[in-house]
Amino acid sequence: MRQSLARLEFHTAGRGLTEITREVADWIGTTGIATGLLTLTCLHTSASLLITENASGAVRRDLLAWLDRVAPEGGHYAHDDEGPDDMPAHLKAVLTNPNLSLPVAGGRPMLGTWQGIFLAEHRRAPHRRAIALHLLGE
């Protein structure tokens, strides 16, 4: 059994979803591990990771609109240290999760035909976000 650990960084354009499937798959290819379990962790409290459809942009727009309805900006939060999008960003990150676990087969993440791995930026401003990757396998 072997393992590999890395940290990938991504620039976000502000609130939205950035597909990172290719970068994750490329990193897996560098490890020499063909079969195993991949764990990804977003190292931030106002961004998160998710798997969703990567074919239709409408799915991503609807998902973001739903999150805005569930955790709207406003003056009703005690925590607003960094502005009105601060606490809603934390809530959205909790709802969507900072961690993903995926099986790896044939040196690729096992995803469905229309699935992609996305970094969800929940803040309005652009950020540089770090993702930790850990692959265990052979």
Domains along the chain with CATH numbers = 2-137 (2.60.120.460)
Region of 83 (left: φ > 0; alpha: ψ -120 to 50; beta: rest) is left
| pLDDT confidence bin for 64, thresholds 50/70/90 | very high
* 42 vs 80 pLDDT, higher one: 42
Give residue-wise pLDDT tens across range 78-93: 998 999 999 999 999 9
Give residue-wise pLDDT tens across range 3-21: 999 999 999 999 999 999 9
C-alpha to C-alpha distance for 117 and 4, rounded to whole angstroms: 19
Q: How many CB atoms lie within 10 A of CB 6?
A: 14
Q: Which two tokens stand for residue 123?
A: 């803040």
Say if strands 16-19 and 115-121 run parallel, antiparallel, or are unpaired: antiparallel
